[in-house]
Amino acid sequence: MEVKVLIATPERNFGEQISQAIREAGYDPLFVQSIAEAALVAQDENCSIAILDYNLPDPGTSYLATELRSHIQDLRIAFIQKNDYAGKQVEINRTFDIDLPQPFFLPDLLEVINLWASEKKTDFENVKTPPEPAIIPAELAWLKDVNRA
């Protein structure tokens, strides 16, 4: 199962840099530059992880996070915040799973994505399937009828 990572930032170079690093790490990045586009892509592509930039225009990153969570309950969201914005968003809105101050160390972001992706794989691997029905040989077919036994 391929992990799709939504990257929403209005800054093209920044988004392409993150996309390239995520692609090299083995994930499928989906780069968008607007809130409307992000909402559509996240739902259509069934994203597992979203990276949202504080620079998104109104109605803003908090609105987008709430909107995405209303449609994809198990979506993990990383919020990339401006340095002077640190702490303010966390107190107001707990819709983000992690806040990364900008500038940040790219391997830190990849470590978070790897952790979240491994959680998804583990959840998928732990799904229990019902056992196959027992095959009863013809000579023991009478066991199928409980009333005769």
pLDDT tens track for 16-62:
999 999 999 999 999 999 888 888 888 888 888 888 888 887 787 87
In tens, the pLDDT along 109-119 reads 888 888 888 87
- Both tokens of 1, joined, read 């199962």
Q: What are phi and psi of 2, to 5 degrees?
A: -85, 130
Please tell me the pTM assigned to this model. 0.70
Q: Which pLDDT score, from 0 to 100, does residue 35 have? A: 87
